[in-house]
Chain A
Amino acid sequence: MAVSREAMNDRLEIHAAEGVCFSLPLAGLVTRFLAWGIDLAATLVAALLIGTVVASLNLFSGDVATAVIILAFFVLYLGYSIFFEWAWRGQTPGKRVLGIRVLDAQGLHLQFSQIVIRNLLRTIDALPMGYLIGGVAILLNRNGQRLGDLAADTVVVSARPGPAPDLAQVLPGKYNSFREHPHLEARLRQRVSTDEAGLLIQALMRRDQLDPAARVTLFADLAEHFRGKVSFPEPSMVGLSDEQYLRNIVESLYRTPGGERESNA
């Protein structure tokens, strides 16, 4: 139960008008804190630059220069996040670096008033120090919203678009020795659950992301698991590595009995 609750908690579920339901991954507390750290550093650097430029240009008297610096710091402090989140559609430089984005909690584009409110309420979220109130609110809220997000009805989601999965890894394109045993392939389809098939595809598609030693171990474990489902005759197994064995299994699972792979029906 706890796992399922956690799994729900780290995603924002949106039910679109078209009847489609999709979910977006919510940004974690640490990621958000790091993004804030980057933005804070950028603000400080900008403030330092402004101070140095105003002082070195000598355009103003001492009093006016001090006023310009006070106002510039204040505008920077208040306007940095508002400006970038508006101009960059929910991202500040820190958020962009860490691949997160502020989004309307209904999945829509942000309105200007939402951006202003969530940033003005930072004054409360930052209390008493180090965003303690905001951090606690994020941990307690199921959508990871600090008080500013609650008031503005916004969430912070992970915005890093993942690459489209590379299916070239999955299907063998080679002769499959298991085809010579259609009755065993039929038994295999009967015994392998959808979840097991999905797991197998995942492992094969991510083969290049795995450490070689880990890959060998993983494929050995998976091959042992699937060998327990159906035993193919020894001649069909000669020279097959664990990985090739698993590729054959996938091909046998996804191919229709007539030889063509299933259509989308």
Chain B
Amino acid sequence: MILDLEKFVREERPYWDELDARLQREQPVSDLASARRLYYLYRRAASDLARLDTLATEPAMRGYLEQLVGRAYAEVHGARKRPYALRPLHWLRVTLPSTFRRHARAFQLATLITLIGALFGAGAVLLDPDAKGVIMPFSHLLGDPSDRVAMEEAAAQESDARPAHSSFAAMLMTNNIRVSILAMAFGIAWGLGTAVMLFYNGVILGAVMLDYIRAGEGVFLAGWLLPHGSIEIPAILFAGQAGFILGGAVIGRGTAQTLRERMRESGPDIVTLIAGVGLFLIWAGLIESFFSQYHAPVFPYWLKISFGLVELVLLFAYLGLSGRQYGGENGRVA
């Protein structure tokens, strides 16, 4: 039986036009009557599509109705439980720390891989001094640590030694955030890409630390690294944590969920963590540019080391304790 298309379109077109007009408004439905009308029009268009599907061979008409039903479907079924509201304080107090705690194992894995990398880097420099030239990413790290300390401390006494703080901070922030995003995104390769990046980061860290400690410049190193590193290094680990969450979703070990379901579930947590990483790295960039680079006698080392240690304790106290009264699940974002 072939559908009478002319009669069909004549009768149904007013409803399609009305549905189309409502969908074009691109504004959320605000009252019950509008919601009911939208739902009615959607069901009617869906029904028309089903009739057309079984009774007529008319691809252009079918394409038009599919577009209409598809848009209406998203509008009807895609409504959120509650509209988005920016609640930055709640996000900081509850969402971010509870997300971190919920995926503590991923953070532990990121830390472990970085530590193994650090041991490898330290071992490589210890056993083979030539390895320093291969491992160190920046030229200023290649020389003798004692020479650098002497140069930095002498420069610190000159009033206009480091005039470009702002641009240096901006460069540090953007570069570190870019690297963190990459560490997270590489998690799509079953977490392997994230692991490689964390390991390499650890190798550099271990090599630098051993080089300075062996040269007897451990205090300078702590005073130089701790103020910003106590936030920056954990931030990179959080990015690794997000990467491992992504990798875990791809692998899907021990769950009956489909890949799609796992990805959808892990998405909000990954975004939360990476947003936190961004915030931490902004802070770290400011500290590195305006505080870490000033060495004794401008800022005594005990002050810089204490500042870094306090930051570290506060960071993990915040992540470990904040928002606990809301329970684990309340930290999720839609």
* Chain A contacts to B: CB under 8 angstroms: 14, 16-25, 63-64, 66-68, 70-71, 74, 78, 89, 103-105, 107-109, 111-114, 116-117, 120-121, 123-124, 147, 150-153, 161-165, 167, 170-171, 194-195, 197-198, 201-202, 205-206, 253-254, 261-265
Segment among B52-60, B109-117, B125-133, B301-309 that sits at the interface with chain A = B52-60
Q: Please give me the residue from chain A that is nearest to B65 by CB atom.
A: A22
Give the 3 A-B residue pairs with the shortest CB-CB distance, closest first. Answer: A198-B57, A109-B78, A108-B78
CA distance A66 to B165 in the complex (A): 10
* Chain B contacts to A: CB under 8 angstroms: 1-9, 13, 16, 20, 26, 43, 46-47, 49-51, 53, 55-61, 63-71, 73-75, 77-80, 84, 163-167, 169-171, 173-174, 177-178, 181-182, 184-186, 188, 193, 246, 249, 260, 263-264, 267-268, 270-271, 274, 333-334
Q: Which of B69, B178, B186 contacts A22 (CB 8 A)?
A: B69
Contacts of A78 in B (CB 8 A): 177, 181
18 A–B contact pairs at CB < 8 A?
A: A20-B69, A22-B73, A70-B174, A71-B174, A74-B174, A89-B26, A104-B74, A108-B78, A112-B84, A113-B270, A117-B267, A124-B193, A151-B263, A194-B2, A262-B4, A263-B7, A264-B4, A264-B51
Contacts of B1 in A (CB 8 A): 262, 265
Identify the interface centre among B51, B57, B64, B182: most chain A CB within 10 Å of its CB: B57
**Given A113-B268, A165-B61, CB of A264 within 8 Å of CB of B66:** no
Q: Please give me the residue from chain B that is nearest to A89 by CB atom.
A: B26
Cross-chain contact A71 with B267 (CB below 8 angstroms):
no
Q: What's the minimum C-beta distance from A58 to chain B, rounded to whole angstroms?
A: 16
Cross-chain contact B2 with A70 (CB below 8 angstroms):
no
CA distance A118 to B322 in the complex (A): 29
Contacts of B4 in A (CB 8 A): 254, 261-264
Contacts of B184 in A (CB 8 A): 120
Q: Which of A66, A68, A170 contacts B5 (CB 8 A)?
A: A170
Besides A109-B79, A111-B334, 18 other A-B contacts (C-beta < 8 A)? A21-B53, A24-B67, A74-B177, A107-B73, A109-B78, A113-B271, A113-B334, A123-B178, A124-B186, A147-B188, A151-B249, A153-B263, A164-B64, A165-B9, A167-B6, A201-B5, A201-B58, A253-B2
Cross-chain contact A163 with B188 (CB below 8 angstroms):
no
CA distance A153 to B257 in the complex (A): 14
Cross-chain contact A167 with B167 (CB below 8 angstroms):
no
CA distance A247 to B224 in the complex (A): 86
Q: Please give me the residue from chain B that is nearest to A60 by CB atom.
A: B166
Cross-chain contact A64 with B166 (CB below 8 angstroms):
yes
Identify the interface centre among B56, B264, B333: most chain A CB within 10 Å of its CB: B264
Cross-chain contact A152 with B166 (CB below 8 angstroms):
no
Q: Please give me the residue from chain A that is nearest to B259 by CB atom.
A: A150
Cross-chain contact A194 with B57 (CB below 8 angstroms):
yes
CA distance A202 to B56 in the complex (A): 12
Contacts of A66 in B (CB 8 A): 164, 166-167, 170
CA distance A170 to B71 in the complex (A): 28
Q: Which of A25, A63, A123 contacts B166 (CB 8 A)?
A: A63
Cross-chain contact A67 with B66 (CB below 8 angstroms):
no
Cross-chain contact A63 with B167 (CB below 8 angstroms):
yes
Contacts of B163 in A (CB 8 A): 63
Contacts of A24 in B (CB 8 A): 66-67, 70
Cross-chain contact B7 with A261 (CB below 8 angstroms):
yes
Cross-chain contact B166 with A17 (CB below 8 angstroms):
no
**Given A63-B164, A66-B170, A67-B170, CB of A162 within 8 Å of CB of B60:** yes
Identify the interface centre among A20, A123, A163, A167: most chain B CB within 10 Å of its CB: A20
